[in-house]
């Protein structure tokens, strides 16, 4: 979900720049590649966030206890391939959300908006919000597919979708077009605060790691360490919105398409805190943190390599 350091400080040499359209393709492709590796963590995180929904602590069974045991529980119930549940929808989401986000941020860079005080954070937050809105239907389906499992370890509402297309068709038929954007009210602030926090902390975190001289100059390990440190801040501010997004997306709806558990972002926050306690807003924070750092680094690595190929094709012989 990150924008790369190269984007944060766009090059002034035109030979080092690509068009916003190319950034759209490269950003979407890079994040999709990263998603293949990090999707199992997303499955575990979703199950943990739904476990004990609106129930007092200690009053419900806990088939998922911590990261390792949760991975084992998913594999036993759904097979190893169960760890990749919702992958197709996840790839669709990453392509839509990050394609729009990279495109909009690239436009802001070209317009010089990121050179203004605070422009980088604002541009990243706005681009993230637009991307989250466009990708919301895919995230809705991804969440519902990842929650589906056998009755013995089921948590949250079980939607019984057969796949991405059938899920989209069912939601469209039963709830109309607006049903595809149900839950977007939490998804937009989730990505907005996450993007802003990451843009505000990643560069300084990486610079601090490099100053410690723990790794060789320009080592990818410095980037990884910086990303993992930055991810602490990102997860801290994003986790409550992440939990709420998962629950709003997965809740059952009535015939009019209204949520049967929550009326929206604020209602979900209040009910969760009242019935489960404030710490419930950080359910699944372990897998969320473990996913965010590697996903960031993989996205950046794939984006950088694809961008180099695009620049070579754009300026052969240079």
- Phi and psi angles of residue 62, each rounded to the nearest 5 degrees, phi first: -125, 85
End-to-end CA distance of the chain: 31
CA atoms within 13 A on the CB side of 120: 18
Sign of the Cα pseudo-torsion (279, 284, 288, 289, in order): positive
Query: Domain 20-309, what architecture?
Result: Alpha/alpha barrel (1.50)
Q: Whole-angstrom Cα distance, residue 288 to residue 284?
A: 6
pTM for this structure? Answer: 0.86
H-run or E-run covering 278:
none
Q: Which residue has the tokens 């969760």?
A: 272
H-run or E-run covering 238:
helix 220-250
Tens of each residue's pLDDT in the chain, 318 residues: 544 444 444 444 444 567 788 888 888 888 888 899 899 999 999 999 999 999 999 899 999 988 899 999 999 999 999 999 999 999 999 999 989 988 888 898 888 887 888 788 888 889 889 999 999 999 999 999 999 999 999 999 999 999 999 999 999 999 999 999 999 999 999 888 887 777 677 777 878 888 888 887 777 787 778 777 877 888 888 899 999 999 999 999 998 888 999 999 999 999 999 999 999 999 999 888 888 767 767 776 677 677 778 777 776 655
8 Å CB contact between 310 and 19:
no
């Amino acid at each position: 979900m990150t924008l790369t350091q190269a984007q944060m400080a766009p090059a002034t040499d035109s030979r080092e720049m690509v068009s916003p359209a190319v950034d759209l393709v490269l950003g979407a492709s890079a994040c999709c590649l990263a998603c293949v590796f990090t999707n199992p963590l997303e499955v575990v995180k979703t199950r943990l966030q739904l476990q004990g929904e609106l129930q007092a602590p200690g009053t419900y069974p806990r088939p998922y206890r911590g990261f390792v045991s949760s991975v084992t529980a998913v594999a036993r119930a759904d097979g190893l391939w169960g760890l990749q549940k919702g992958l197709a929808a996840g790839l669709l989401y990453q392509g839509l959300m990050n394609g729009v986000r990279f495109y909009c941020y690239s436009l802001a860079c070209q317009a010089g908006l990121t050179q203004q005080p605070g422009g980088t954070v604002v541009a990243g937050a706005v681009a993230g919000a637009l991307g989250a809105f466009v990708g919301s239907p895919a995230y809705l389906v991804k969440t519902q597919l990842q929650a589906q499992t056998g009755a013995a370890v089921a948590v949250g509402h079980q939607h019984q979708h057969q796949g991405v297309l059938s899920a989209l068709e069912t939601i469209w038929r039963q709830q109309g077009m607006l049903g595809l954007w149900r839950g977007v009210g939490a998804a937009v602030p989730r990505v907005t605060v996450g993007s802003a926090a990451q843009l505000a902390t990643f560069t300084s975190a990486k610079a601090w790691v490099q100053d410690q001289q723990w790794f060789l100059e320009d080592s990818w390990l410095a980037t990884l360490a910086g990303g993992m440190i930055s991810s602490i801040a990102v997860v801290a501010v994003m986790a409550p919105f992440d939990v709420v997004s998962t629950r709003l997306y997965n809740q059952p709806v009535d015939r009019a398409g209204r949520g049967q558990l929550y009326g929206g972002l604020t209602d979900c926050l209040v009910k969760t805190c009242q019935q489960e306690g404030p710490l419930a807003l950080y359910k699944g924070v372990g897998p969320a943190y473990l996913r965010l750092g590697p996903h960031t680094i993989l996205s950046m690595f794939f984006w950088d390599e694809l961008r180099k190929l695009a620049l070579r094709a754009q300026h052969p012989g240079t």
